[in-house]
Amino acid sequence: MTGVLPIVLVEARKIVQALLLSGKEYMCVMKLHGEAKEEHVRKVLREFEDMIYQRPPLRSSVKRRLRTRRIYYIDFLEMEGRNVLFRVGCEGGTYIRKLCYDIGEVLGCAAHMQELRRTRAGPFVENGDLVTLHDVAYWFMEWQQQKEESILKKFIQPMENALALVPKIYIRDSAVDAICHGANLTAPGVLSLETQINEGSTVAVLSLKCEAVALVKAVASTEEILNMEHGVVAKPKRVLMRRGTYPKCWKSGGA
């Protein structure tokens, strides 16, 4: 497989789980084992645009238990002989080789994944501000010689870019250090928030300077949070900012 592969460094490793769960897009060449009409292939591809059941293949990094994954779209692009080219947008954790196998079963001629290219991983797209490994090697050598921070910015992006598609809550400066110490986020600390936050969803907490503070689990929806004056709105999952980055504005239990 080729294409987009986000790589995280140092403190940014804490957001890996958020990236793993984010949506993906692939360009896939599926090889049919028998003859099939293009009209039939188009029809069957559309039937997979929904929640599907998948059992990971034998060669996989997870347990082989039945699970559901959402296929957001499958766009038929072209067909040449027994080779079918399509674009698929799916939920993180979807196995495209298993998807090809299942499509072949429905077609009645069997099929396998011939080639695969990831064109999007979360907010990162193939035609965006991404770099090749050759670019990384070149700019790293330049940085080793000149030691200028501006060179690093040519191939290393801020951690916050990876959270572009995660719903966000913006908090007061006075609440930042408490969150960094693992405290629950309460309503008085919230200044603004985005829509589409649901109870149980993963949310990114940001400072007023748009710095990533933590990943939290919402215990209320956007509408409920907006109407809250007191109480917990989210519980910590992963602290992203170092303690002491913002001044302490809270009292400890023994104070």
Report whether 197 contacts 215 (CB < 8 A): no
Level-2 CATH architecture, domain 2-125: 2-Layer Sandwich (3.30)
User: What residues contact residue 37 under an 8 Å CB cut-off, 6+ apart?
Assistant: none
- Please tell me the total number of residues recorded for the chain in this structure: 255
Indicate whether 173 pLDDT > 80. Answer: yes
pLDDT band at 252 (very low <50, low <70, confident <90, very high): low
| pLDDT at residue 6 greater than cutoff 70 | yes
- The model's pTM: 0.84
pLDDT of residue 251: 64
- Split at pLDDT 50, 70, 90, the class of 140 is very high
pLDDT, tens digit (0-9, with 9 covering 90-100), for 184-232? 999 999 999 998 899 999 999 999 999 999 999 999 999 999 999 999 9
Calculate the alpha carbon distances from 134 to 159, 206, 234 in Å: 22, 33, 42
Over its C-alpha atoms, the chain yields an Rg (Å, rounded) of: 23
Which ranges in the chain are annotated with CATH 2.30.130.10?
166-239
At the topology level, CATH places domain 166-239 in 2.30.130
Q: CATH 3.30.70.3190 residue ranges in the chain?
A: 2-125
pLDDT at 175 over 70: yes
pLDDT, one tens digit per residue, over 83-119 is 999 999 999 889 999 999 999 999 999 999 999 999 9
